[in-house]
A and B are shown apart, each in its own frame.
Chain A
Amino acid sequence: MTQPGERLIQPGAYNEMVMGNTAVVRAMVETQTRVVSSYPGSPTPEIAAAIRTISEEKRPFYFEFSVNEKVASEVAFGAALNGNLSCVFFKSVGLNVAMDTFVQFGLMNIPGGLVVVIGDDPGANSSQNEQDNRHIFKMARLTVFEPASPREVYGYYKKAAQLARIEQTAAVLRLTTHVCHARQKVSFDAYEPGENIFNADFDKANGPYIPITNLAIDLKRKSFHKLTRAAEFIRQEGLNTLDQGGSEENIGIIVPGMPYLSLKDVLALDDGFSPDILKLGVVHPLDFEVIKPFLQSHDTVLILEELDDIIEQQIKAFAQDEGISAKILGKTCDEDFIGEYTPDKVHDILFRIWPDRFVTAPVDVIPGIEVPARPAQMCPGCGHRSAFQAIKKALAKTDITVADIGCHTLGFLPPYEMGEVLMCMGASSGMASGLSLGNKDRRVVAFLGDSTFFHAGIPGIINTLFNRHNITLIIMENGTTAMTGHQDHAGGTIPVKEVLKGLGVEHVFSCDTYQQEVLTRQVTEAMNIDGLSVVIASHPCMLKFTRAQSKKPGYTRRHVNIDAAVCTRVHECVAVFGCPSFVLNDDGSVAVNKDLCIGDGSCRQVCPEQAIQY
């Protein structure tokens, strides 16, 4: 059997059970996308994982993890100006970082075509909010394809690429978390491998590319024309589809993306209620030539839309203008704007509107014996755990700790409770600076990951220096982008310490976090310095390290033991250090879960009795 990466580039047709994120990559190959860029963030990093199953020599396109989403967007845009079909992909809130560049895409003539793949996160599964990026896509006047399944992800990417090329524009493929991660058997088409040549055809005559004053206005005018033609393309390609119901009730439902699947599941619960469904494959621009007759031919139409009421508002306004008499139902309460439209949620909504149409009522969770919650935790051996254990000792109770994005964010949870406010990537130094103003009694400590340092952390640090803010910044350095699956970052070639030196930071301390006493001392010293002091608290990501070790020949797993004769049950290991490998028995004794312990021994220094031994 061939390897997955080999199959992704094979010219012949095949079918395979794949994740939505993998289906994107086969579509990239078939459409001869030439340049792909990204910054890792859930729910999209498995697109990169699939790309990396294709060896670099055989990969028919250039791929890079850029330093952040904005730069990634610029790289893809630049490559597309040269006439190469390009793609940039990243997560929902990554669009906030990319915004300055992204909003210009609709104005620009992009000869190669550009596909922007964005993983929105309804339900905020792995993000700091569940923002609905369709607002932004609408503002940028871009066409937005919204697939519901891996099969559609594959098909819609190809359509988006086609439109982007024809109109020399950017098109958006909007995925959501469970579309990215859904698995399904997809039939992939055959394709003719191209010559894999990079074009370098930039010509300013394709522009204008300097959008200032009246030129920006002209470009805006053109963006409307592109959108009108996009609506025609959508109609010709039949991307909005009618799903004829069987009943005579004269009810219609308009629904895009994954909520369509939820709706179909809910309607399958009972026989007898089968309204007509207009499934929107493209959520912007709306094709009113299809929507208008649908509204006219039903007495009642429900707009079933996840997150915000963007389609609903447009359709209601359209119906008002056209004097359409159908009753249009949409969101009626705050909860309708919140969370993923899972089958359960859609069942609740439909049952609320048409209770008499359902035999099967929504069920509640059956109250059984209450199971203790299981919050996410830092892994056994994680260097961040040792760091928090050590840093806490250097802080007064009244000091303020500011978190940032990364695995170390989990420090906010008990038993550490370090990092009391979190905003977004790289925001910690700036927030900490504000918290330090006029604040004589409470010292402020900010945390920042090493990938985040390069992504968005540097401007905040420069500001701290330039405006002489009094904070201590602790870089939680683990040498990777751990939370999203261990992607490399700029720190591998440009050491954080050298950057800080170059910026002129005078007080930089560094140590391995397993040296807890040293770290406590360094943080104590750093916090006594007036102005910016930085402590680089390093330890390699132990999940990544242990995985690599376990693949080496002769690897044997180690673990620690508790010497019951020495243990005085102070529980520093289990309740303060809090490594998940420790088990607290009913009688108060402590044991070690051998399946979990990696034998790193970072816990041994926390036991006042030295009861933790190999």
Chain B
Amino acid sequence: MKEFNIYITGVGGQGIGLLSQALLQAIDHAGLDAVAVDTHGLAQRGGVVASRIRFGEQVYSPLTMKHRSDLVLAMEIHEALRGVNTAVKDSGALVYLDVSWQPLPVRISGEKPMTNDDISKTCHARQVQVFRVESHKIPDPRMQNMAVLGTLAGHGLVRGVEKNHYLSALEAVLPEKIREANINLFESYMSV
């Protein structure tokens, strides 16, 4: 495979870092030579954050190009749509958590918030496969990223990465105290 690009996005404070780290480890455990990069600094304070993971035979920079991402993972509705508008390729895939962290202009200058409907319409028009993760079904908001990871793993959205790779990655990146509960939730989403 020449390249496989993953764009992970959300709002600073949502724990995108752990999601991208777990996925990167899983790809590494699958024996693929990956490069990745996260957002640090100012944007972490409630702004848009994005991580990118890339692997394949002809992959160099950790930065992804516009509309060349095979897979977009989003932890929030507005950022899901922004990711579709800037990063995902036509006929790529989007996995998103349907929570809304209302952007400031919605609250103070009357801009229109985004909806699940906006996402499905946009994705349909560009043949982007959509996987919506319903937040209200997740028992603990701190494990939302596990539901997203489980969903993409269950649908085999990252080529070459199998269940055991995800599990060994989670063993490696999760602190012991929360490991079991997180892995259980991951597995329940994986088998849906």
| Partner-B contacts on A (CB < 8 A) | 1, 17, 42-43, 45-46, 125-126, 149, 177-178, 181-185, 258, 260-262, 264-265, 268, 342-344, 347, 362-369, 371-379, 407, 410, 413-415, 483-484, 574-575, 578, 580, 582-584, 593-596
With contacts A183-B38, A369-B81, A578-B104 known, what are 13 further pairs, Cβ within 8 A?
A: A126-B41, A126-B42, A182-B35, A184-B35, A265-B59, A265-B60, A265-B61, A365-B67, A368-B122, A374-B104, A376-B42, A414-B104, A596-B13
- Give the interface segment out of B106-114, B147-155, B157-165, B182-190: B106-114
* Contact A182 B36, beta carbon cutoff 8 Å: yes
> What is the CA–CA distance of A25 and B84 in the complex, to the nearest angstrom?
37
Output the least CB separation between B129 and chain A (Å). Answer: 16
Sampled A-B contacts (29; CB under 8 Å): A43-B40, A126-B42, A178-B62, A184-B62, A185-B28, A258-B61, A265-B65, A268-B60, A365-B67, A368-B81, A368-B122, A369-B81, A369-B121, A371-B81, A372-B106, A372-B113, A374-B47, A374-B104, A378-B45, A379-B45, A379-B46, A575-B108, A578-B104, A578-B107, A580-B102, A584-B107, A593-B102, A595-B99, A596-B101
A449 to chain B, nearest CB (A): 14
Bound-state Cα–Cα, A371 to B102, Å? 11
Question: What is the number of contacts between chain A and chain B, taking CB atoms within 8 Å?
Answer: 176
Minimum C-beta distance from B30 to chain A (A) = 12
B105 close to A (CB within 8 Å): yes
Nearest opposing residue in chain B for A484, CB measure: B41
For the complex, what is the distance from the CA of A518 to the CA of B172, rounded to whole Å?
Answer: 49
Within 8 A of A (CB), among B66-91: 66-67, 78-79, 81-82, 84-86
Q: Count residues of B near A (Cβ-Cβ below 8 Å).
A: 62
Distance between B169 CB and nearest chain A CB, rounded to angstroms: 10
* B137 adjacent to chain A (CB < 8 Å): no
In whole Å, how far is A258's beta carbon from the nearest beta carbon of chain B? 7
Check B130 for interface membership: any CB of A closer than 8 A.
Answer: no
Give A414 to B25 CA distance when docked, in angstroms.
40
Q: Would you list the 5 A-B pairs with minimal beta carbon distance, nearest first?
A: A126-B41, A42-B41, A376-B47, A377-B46, A261-B61
A375 to B101, CA, bound (A): 12
Decide: A374 and B78 in contact? CB cutoff 8 A: yes
Residues B1-52 near A (CB distance < 8 A): 2-3, 11-13, 24-25, 28, 33-48
Taking Cβ atoms with an 8 Å cutoff, the residues of B that contact A are 2-3, 11-13, 24-25, 28, 33-48, 58-67, 78-79, 81-82, 84-86, 99-109, 111-114, 118, 121-122, 126, 141, 172
Q: Please, how many angstroms separate the alpha-carbon atoms of A374 and B102 in the complex? A: 9
Main secondary structure of the interface of A (DSSP, over half): loop
A374 to B66, CA, bound (A): 19
User: Looking across the interface, which residue of chain A has its beta carbon closest to that of B48?
Assistant: A374
A262 near B61 with CB under 8 A, answer yes
A414–B44 alpha-carbon span in the complex (Å)? 18
Q: Among B42, B105, B121, B122, which residue has the most Cβ atoms of chain A within 10 A? A: B42
Q: Which residues of A contact B45 (CB under 8 A)?
A: 376-379, 407, 410, 483
* Cα–Cα, bound, A468→B66 (Å): 55
Assuming A183-B35, A343-B61, A410-B45, is B24 touching A379 (CB within 8 A)?
no
CA distance A268 to B24 in the complex (A): 23
In the assembled complex, how far is the CB of residue A544 from the closest CB belonging to chain B, in whole angstroms? 13
Asked if residues B46 and A483 are in contact (CB atoms below 8 Å), the reply is no
Q: How far is the CB of B117 from chain A (nearest CB, A)?
A: 10
Residue contact A372 to B62, C-beta cutoff 8 Å = no
Chain A residues with CB below 8 A from B2, complex form: 268
> Contact partner of B61 among A342, A365, A574, CB < 8 A?
A342
CB distance from A332 to the nearest CB of B (A): 22
- A595: chain B residues within 8 A (beta carbon): 99, 101, 141
Q: Are B42 and A42 in contact (CB under 8 A)?
A: yes
